[in-house]
Amino acid sequence: MIKKCLKNLLFWLIFLPLLYTLSGFVILPWWIRTQMPSLLQEKLHLLVSMEKVLFNPFTFELHVNHFALHDTAGNDVATLEHLYINYDPTYLFKKEFFVKSLLLEQPFVDLKIDPKGNLTLLSLFPTNPSRESNATTDTSLTMPFIIEHVEIQNAKTNFSDERPSEPFKLEIGPINYAVNNLSFYKDDLSIHALKVMLKNEEKITLASSASFEPLKFYGELGISHLPLSNFWRYAVPNIPATLTQGELSLKVPFSIDLSKEKPLVSLEKASALLENIRFVDTEQKTVVDVPSLKLETIDFDLQTSNISIEKAILSKPFVDVQLEKEYAVNLVRLFTPKSVPTQPKTPTPAAQETKNEWKFALKTFEINEATIDVTDKNVKSTPIHLAPLKLIAQNITHDQNSPIAYDFNSTIDTTASLNAKGVFIPATASLEMVMNASKLSLEKVQPYITLFTTTLIQDGSLSLTSKLSASFDQKPMFKIEGDATISKFSLADKLKNSLVAWETLNVSRIAYNLSPAALSIQNIMLDKPYINLDIKKDGTTNFSNLLKTSTTQPQKSSQTQKAPSTHDAMSMYIGNIVLKRGTTHFKDASLLLPFATFADRLNGSMSTLDTKNTKPSVLKLEGKVDKYGYAKIDGSILPFNFKDRAMLKILFKNIDMPSLSPYTSKFIGYAIKEGKLSMDLNYKIKKGVMEGANKINLDSLILGEKIESKDATNLPLGLAIAILKDSKGQIDLDLPVSGDLNDPEFRYGSIVWKAIGNLIGSIATSPFKLLGSMLGIETENLKSIDFAAGESAFIASEEEKMEQYRQILDKRAELKLIITPSYNETLDTKALQEQNVTAQIEALIPKKSKEDDSYGKTIKKLFIQKYSDDAYSKLMKTYKEENLDLGAIHDALISKIAESITVTPEALHALALKRFDTIFQTLTTKYKIAPARLIKNEPQASDAIREEWVGCSISVSN
């Protein structure tokens, strides 16, 4: 019995080890290799295959070679060249599941997203039914799990997405990952190392330590020269701009604690570097080129929602800015996503409640050696080139009330420079700036003024120093102070003929305030100004057609625009204006004889101009005219209300009159052979009325040849000169002169000859005034012979005029009197009507009538004949109610009757001719004037004199 038991024991001692050895080396590998794929396909519908499985039951080492997961078409989705697991069962006695080593060699995963957005790898795995909402899951481990060493060698993955129009593909690998001491004991740390290569270059590294109880991670992520161009189009397919090149490098020390209710994630002293970034537009033209963008000392804390960056440095960037149609910026178009219909996401109340406000701070942002080209395609212009450009901005934070300090410097088009320094507060859109600009070319403005004018800016530069304060919140504020200089300015017409130019225009201590609107300028100095005025043959000037007329009709507003309030008017103060070394050229080709002259050495000044002060400004200007002439202007004016008050004294001396022949020939029909002109003009303007006490001296004036001109007036010029000139050849005149001081002809003779023309014209229109002053007789009333209304007989006051007419004709044998028979339609008609009624009354009253009140009865009879009994009764009732006396009633009735009398034009002409006969007969008969020296005009209507006299006009002719 014992022997039998020993045999059985020996059998089992031999059989069981053999069975264990056979099962471990043969049966288990065979089952895993042959049966497990079928089981996985049956239970999980997974298609897997493996070429070789080895298991050592004594060392507990498992080798699986050539493992593959297939899709339904038989394509490899995931493969593993070699799997090695070294398990140590002795740790079971310590109640630990311990794996000494886990090795995966050359794993491969094909990650493909189909056109519907599904990841094909996940579609191979069955979906677990959802658990009940009240089900609980025990996530605790019944036995601690430890892997001493985990290593993934030469892993690769292919990622592809077929949703974009151009499918995205990316090959990642080889990937190497190693973990030491992967333990689930509390506070045990595991060491992790990851290396990812792209295109055979190491791009991503990770060195970290981690614990699973609690769940914490510490380490550093590194990315080196990761190419971004492939990711750009895939990540932002709706951005028109294309990233053709660019690399990203990161160094991210991190700390992650997931053991708390709220995850703790922080980055400390991370850094980022973008290199060789280049964006192109749809035409493959570079619009942004950034050699380097470096972010230093990046700190991030998820718990406090805080991001802090010590410094961002942008080195040598290039930006091509295009102002496209209607001034849309190309960069906005290129970097704005194309519209993609999306469903708006409404945040849930819980999400709204848990939303934290992020805090952001960028302490310093620098742009170094930047280049910006700005091209305006709305006009024909050359690009503005800003290089090198430097910008430093500090304290850029999430706090909109925190001021951002900035310092901007740039060279513009290689010669100009611009510097702006100050602070900006985003919350109130407030700006403080100190700006300095030097040699800004005004020629750059030419394409913009071309839209409105034909003038050409040929030269000129602007330099300024200013301090600006602005705010654009609910109450906009804008204030600027500084100095400005425009140098070497030249403005020409479209034929490049100079119009206006100056050497230097200095405007110092400018101060402008938007609200209340106020402009203050302490000093303006204009050095060597030049104006060229050219009058063409057709009368237009070189300044006439400088503005282009718009072809579009202005739109009428549907609402009436409110007139601006006087309270909104801008106050203006200009301390002093100085003009030095001015020059002007003047040419007039519209005259019969082309005319040109110049004035130079113009110097002048104007004192304070102030809209808030009624103190007049003092004006001084003097200069040389032609070769030997001199001009000077002194004045006291209210420059912002010139018509209200002005006092001007204008002095012209020694102006050569032959040079004025083009004007004399045009306006009086004669050239001037000899003569000098001097004028002392004094103007006083008050409330829009100008008065002048002016003196004109003509020295040795001799007329030249007669020149036919359609504009010349037919005046007795020769006679006027002979009368006015004294024995020394001087003509001194005291006469008013008026004219437009803005008219360029004012300085070259037009206003002079206007004054002389007025004088000569007065000889023709008022000859008696001049004759009377020369002959020493009273001639104030000789312009007409006055008659009573409806009468042709002399009145006593007119008899004395006949003797004066005789004296004038006796002393001026060449003169003749022109008599105009005259009538006044209103006065004479009324008088003739009343004369007619009076005659009818006298005819109807019996000469020896003894009847009571025959006069009144006759008037009543005539009224009833003209109107009616009823009209007479009503009128008499009205008169009695007005308490009129009998005489007034008779006069009123006579006036009513007279209104019905018709006076014909022939009767008025006959009355005028009777008046002429009275004058003619008196002069020829009583005063013995030859009839040949009396000329009769055609009868004509005349204005009433003091509403009671009618004058027959008397004038002189040679």
Helix H segments across 366-492?
446-449
DSSP string covering 644-687: TEEEEEEEEEEEEGGGGHHHHHHHTSEEEEEEEEEEEEEEEEET
Nearest C-alpha neighbor of 198 from the set 167, 168, 158: 158
| Mean pLDDT score across all residues of the chain | 80
Distance CA 16, CA 22 (A): 9
The pLDDT of residue 735:
65
Considering the chain, what percentage of its residues have pLDDT values greater than 70? 80
Q: Return the minimum-mean-pLDDT range out of 42-46, 184-188, 396-400.
A: 184-188
| pLDDT above 60 (res 140) | no
Residue 589 three-state SS: coil
| pLDDT above 50 (res 132) | no
Cβ atoms of residues 674 and 641 within 8 Å: no
The pLDDT of residue 591:
56
The pLDDT of residue 917:
92
Say which residues have a Cβ less than 8 Å from residue 274's Cβ, sequence separation at least 6: 228, 246, 247, 248, 249, 290, 292, 293, 294
Residue identified by tokens 């038989």 is 74
Tokens of 682: 């004094």
Residue identified by tokens 């400004």 is 617
Enter the DSSP assignment of 886: H
Q: Which backbone phi and psi does 397 adopt, to 5 degrees?
A: -135, 175
Nearest C-alpha neighbor of 816 from the set 937, 636, 675, 642: 937
Say which residues have a Cβ less than 8 Å from residue 254's Cβ, sequence separation at least 6: 208, 217, 218, 219, 220, 221, 265, 266, 267, 270
The pLDDT of residue 552:
52
The pLDDT of residue 642:
62
Q: Which residue has the higher pLDDT, 276 or 22?
A: 276
Q: Return the minimum-mean-pLDDT range out of 233-242, 482-491, 720-729.
A: 720-729
Name the band, by pLDDT with cuts 50, 70 and 90, for residue 826: confident
The pLDDT of residue 748:
34
| pLDDT above 90 (res 410) | yes
Name the band, by pLDDT with cuts 50, 70 and 90, for residue 134: very low
Nearest C-alpha neighbor of 282 from the set 326, 247, 333: 333
Beta bridge mates, 209: 191, 218
How would you class 956 by CB atoms within 10 Å of its CB: exposed for 0-12, middle for 13-18, buried for 19 or more? Answer: buried
Q: Which backbone phi and psi does 15 adopt, to 5 degrees?
A: -70, -45
- Quick one: three-class SS letters along 137-189? CCCCCCCCEEEEEEEEEEEEEEEEECCCCCCEEEEEEEEEEEEEEEECCECCC
Q: Which residue has the higher pLDDT, 135 or 473?
A: 473
Distance CA 270, CA 290 (A): 21
The pLDDT of residue 133:
42
Residue pLDDT, tens place only, 922-934: 899 988 899 998 9
Q: Which backbone phi and psi does 900 adopt, to 5 degrees?
A: -90, -5
| pLDDT above 80 (res 550) | no
Residue pLDDT, tens place only, 561-603: 444 444 457 788 888 889 998 888 877 666 555 556 677 888 8
Residue pLDDT, tens place only, 759-790: 666 666 666 776 676 666 767 678 889 998 88
The pLDDT of residue 668:
65
Q: Return the minimum-mean-pLDDT range out of 22-26, 53-57, 768-772.
A: 768-772
Distance CA 477, CA 456 (A): 35
Compute the average pLDDT of residues 613-633: 79
Residue pLDDT, tens place only, 812-825: 666 778 899 999 98
Residue pLDDT, tens place only, 341-379: 554 554 544 444 445 688 999 999 999 999 999 999 888
Residue pLDDT, tens place only, 647-690: 778 777 777 777 666 666 666 667 777 777 777 777 676 665 55
Distance CA 256, CA 208 (A): 11
Residue 635 three-state SS: strand
The pLDDT of residue 510:
92
Distance CA 235, CA 246 (A): 14
How would you class 793 by CB atoms within 10 Å of its CB: exposed for 0-12, middle for 13-18, buried for 19 or more? Answer: exposed
Domains in the chain, CATH or no CATH each: 71-123+143-213 (no CATH), 528-544+571-765 (no CATH), 784-957 (3.30.1330.60)
Distance CA 91, CA 21 (A): 21
Q: How far is CA 952 from CA 658, 903, 944, in A?
A: 42, 20, 11
Q: Which residue has the higher pLDDT, 556 or 100?
A: 100
Residue 943 three-state SS: coil
| pLDDT above 60 (res 706) | yes
Cβ atoms of residues 445 and 463 within 8 Å: no
Half-sphere exposure of 50 (CA within 13 A, CB side): 22
Residue 843 three-state SS: helix
Distance CA 7, CA 762 (A): 167
Residue pLDDT, tens place only, 165-223: 778 888 888 899 998 888 777 777 888 888 988 877 778 898 888 887 788 888 999 99
The pLDDT of residue 405:
94
Residue pLDDT, tens place only, 727-758: 566 667 776 655 554 444 444 344 545 655 56
The pLDDT of residue 685:
64
Q: How far is CA 93 from CA 132, 148, 264, in A?
A: 37, 17, 37
Q: Which residue has the higher pLDDT, 93 or 382?
A: 382
Residue pLDDT, tens place only, 518-536: 889 999 999 999 888 887 7
| pLDDT above 90 (res 326) | no
Distance CA 671, CA 702 (A): 9
Q: How far is CA 88 from CA 20, 58, 630, in A?
A: 17, 10, 121
Maximum separation of any 2 CA atoms in the chain, in Å: 208
The pLDDT of residue 482:
94
Nearest C-alpha neighbor of 30 from the set 50, 46, 60: 50
DSSP string covering 747-814: GTTHHHHHHHHHHHHHHHH-HHHHHHHHHT---TTTTEEEEETT--SPPHHHHHHHHHHHHHHHH-TT
The pLDDT of residue 351:
42
Tokens of 621: 């200007």
The pLDDT of residue 567:
47
pTM of this prediction exceeds 0.85: no
Nearest C-alpha neighbor of 107 from the set 83, 86, 84: 83
The pLDDT of residue 313:
96
